[in-house]
Amino acid sequence: MYMLQGKLFRPAEAAMLKVVDQVVPQGTAVEAAREWVKANPTATAQPWDVKGFKFPGGVGQFNPGFVQTMVGALPMTLKQTQRNMNAPVALLSAVYEGAQRPFDRAIRIESKYFAKVAADPQASNMIRSLFVNKQAAERGARRPKAEPKAPTMKLAMLGAGMMGAGIATVAAQAGMEVVLFDRDIAYAEKGKAHVETVLKKRLGKGMTPEKMAATLARVTPTADYADLAGADFVIEAVFEDVAIKAEVTRQVEAILGPDVIFGSNTSTLPITKLATAWSKPANFIGVHFFSPVEKMPLVEIILGKETGPAAIAKALDFVAQIKKTPIVVNDSRGFYTSRCFGTYVQEGAELVAEGINPALIENAGKQLGMPVGPLAVSDEVSIELGYKVMTAAKKELGDAYVVQRSDDVMTQMVERDRLGRKNGKGWYDYPEGGTKLLWSGIADLFPRADDQPDVEAVKERLLYRQLIECARCYEEGVLETPEDGDIGAIFGWGFAPYTGGPFAHMDTVGIAHVVAVLDRLRAAHGDRFAATEQLRAMAATGATFYQSVPDRAAA
């Protein structure tokens, strides 16, 4: 199981499990090896090279434990990966076949499977996005090189709700002083209590009582703006309302002045508009976290039209301090992650409106490689939140807003108080102490169609609705690199990781194929599947995102 999970070991744990023979202090490996050779003069071969060696416990049917492990491992792996990942099955095959052969032949069997996996685009896509590009982002690939390092020493955290308290937690753990502000001291104290709850869960897991006490001591709850004095970075996570955010922004500037960098944790409101409340818009930037902050690895940095290099550097240095992965995008309603994630949820609602069986929709989402189905994730983030975002967009865009059937679906759910997990009833019912179940009233509200599509057709719609929105973000300049697009998709909303991300996937299947599928889906389901002009141009020339499209971030 350790190999299937790609689990990393601490040295002592590896030695206990006999993954390594011995653990020695750093810098002493050569000397320790010499001493081992002196102490073991007869150890001239590995155990499996000694005549008469037998596989521990026997092989194949002669080792009940081995048989039991292999019988259970394959179906478990296929279930966990939804049959989407090739490497785990190859690994199991190599172990099963190799364990029944002499070691030299087993190594050749392993090499055969390794070569097959290494040559698979799936492996190269995953390695590029999950390791190479992710590590480059964490090392500051998008940070302005001319800006001096700007670590945050004292954070002014505005808003002590779930997001604000989560940000305060990771900042305090990184060694920063945190002033946790809310309009009511009771809310601020509740936010600090959340910090304590999170830290308590980590006791014995690298967190000592002394370390916990020191971390908690760095968080100061307050309802007084004057206590923010001396902060060198501000993040606001107050209610998603332009007027409320503007008022808080002005109050903070009166204390700190406009030279401090101000970050907004808004998930949808345009940064350029919010920045008008700060007298130096160059020092205003979006810093979008994901919930729960303590667990989610991504932070989306959003640049307003006037955001300057000092603000970018400060935000990226802060993200590095809290050991999260950043992407950098340009301003737009919903930015990149919220906008594209929203299409997954919206297409799920569109399918419901058409009378598609909700269980089919949910299973298709999971088989596609998403963490959960679109209805389940809609419940998790709150149907009401989606409704509010939709309502705000209608008000902001006016006649330019494109009405979708999913709008009516959300409206009907909210009118019936089906708000999601937060009130115990959404697409699912959440019985106390029981397992969630799809709401039996869905069929009454949205009558079931007589003809149901197969699961592949539903998977295709859920996938391509996301792909086309990602492509639009790139064409519009919201995204500057496919690297940010793939990292943001996988770590932001759980886009199928086996693909390497939406842009890697489009490159792999071919842009011409993507356009052909989009044209077919547009004819059947409407303009939301319309291919972009950039995609059509790429299809005509055989271009790809990673090899042919200029890197605008480097320009």
Residue 80's Cα: distance from chain center in Å?
A: 18
pLDDT of residue 554: 58
Average pLDDT of the segment spanning 399-416: 94
Whole-number percent of the chain with pLDDT over 70: 98
Rounded mean pLDDT, 175-194: 98
Mean pLDDT score, 200-212: 92
For residue 522, what are the CA distances in angstroms to 252, 339, 401?
48, 19, 19
Q: What is the pLDDT of residue 53?
A: 81
- Amino acid 552: pLDDT: 62
The per-residue pLDDT for 389 is 87
N-to-C CA span, the chain? 45
Rounded to an integer, what distance in angstroms lies between the CA atom of residue 457 and that of residue 343?
A: 17
pLDDT at 393 over 60: yes
Residue-wise pLDDT tens digits, 110-144: 999 999 999 999 999 999 999 999 999 999 999 99
Q: Phi/psi class of residue 457: alpha, beta or left (left: φ > 0; alpha: ψ in -120 to 50)?
A: alpha
Query: Looking at residues 231-253, what average pLDDT do you find?
Result: 96
User: Among 373, 365, 493, 369, which Cα is nearest to 81's?
Assistant: 369
Residue 395: per-residue pLDDT: 85
In the chain, the amino acid numbered 544 is T
Burial class (CB in 10 A: 0-12, 13-18, 19+), 255: middle
Distance, in Å, from the CA atom of 475 to the CA atom of 346, rounded to the nearest integer, reads 21
Q: What's the order of all strands across the beta sheet hosting 219-222?
A: 219-222, 177-181, 154-158, 233-236, 261-264, 284-289, 298-303, 325-330
How large is the average pLDDT for residues 266-281?
Answer: 95
Using 50, 70 and 90 to split pLDDT, how confident is the model at 4?
confident
Q: Lowest mean pLDDT: which of 281-285, 306-310, 402-406?
A: 402-406
| Look-up of token digits 């810098």 | 27
Average pLDDT on 266-273 reads 93
Task: Say if CB 390 and CB 410 are below 8 A apart.
Answer: yes
pLDDT at 370 over 60: yes
pLDDT exceeds cutoff 90 at 51: no
**pLDDT of res. 61:** 65
What's residue 374's pLDDT?
A: 98
Q: Answer yes or no: are the C-beta atoms of 269 and 388 closer than 8 Å.
A: no
Question: Of 192, 293, 186, which Cα lies nearest the Cα of 200?
Answer: 192
Domains defined along the chain, listed by start = 2-125 (3.90.226.10), 154-335 (3.40.50.720), 338-455 (1.10.1040.50)
Q: What is the mean pLDDT of residues 29-58?
A: 86
* Cα–Cα distance for residue pair 193/2, rounded to 1 Å: 36
Query: What pLDDT was estimated at residue 392?
Result: 83
Q: What burial class does residue 554 get, using C-beta atoms within 10 Å of its C-beta: 0-12 exposed, 13-18 middle, 19+ buried?
A: exposed
CA distances to 370, 454, 461, 464 from 364, rounded to whole Å, are: 9, 9, 10, 13
Which structure tokens are listed for 144?
A: 């302005």
Is residue 353 scored above 70 in pLDDT?
A: yes
pLDDT at 553: 65
Where residue 555 falls among pLDDT bands split at 50, 70, 90?
low
pLDDT band at 494, cuts 50/70/90? Answer: very high
pLDDT recorded at residue 8: 81
Kindly report, residue by residue over 138-177, the tens digit of the pLDDT: 999 999 999 999 999 999 999 999 999 999 999 999 999 9
pLDDT, tens digit, 9 for 90 and up, residues 356-367: 999 999 999 999
Closest by CA position to 83, among listed 453, 458, 459 = 459
551 pLDDT band, cuts 50/70/90, is: low
pLDDT at 334 over 70: yes
Closest CA to 511 of 545, 549, 551, 476: 545
Mean pLDDT value across residues 219-242: 97
| Spatial separation of the C-alpha atoms in residues 492 and 281, rounded to whole Å | 27
Looking at the predicted structure, is the pLDDT value of residue 58 above 90? no
Provide the total of helices (H) and of strands (E) in the chain, helices listed first.
25, 10
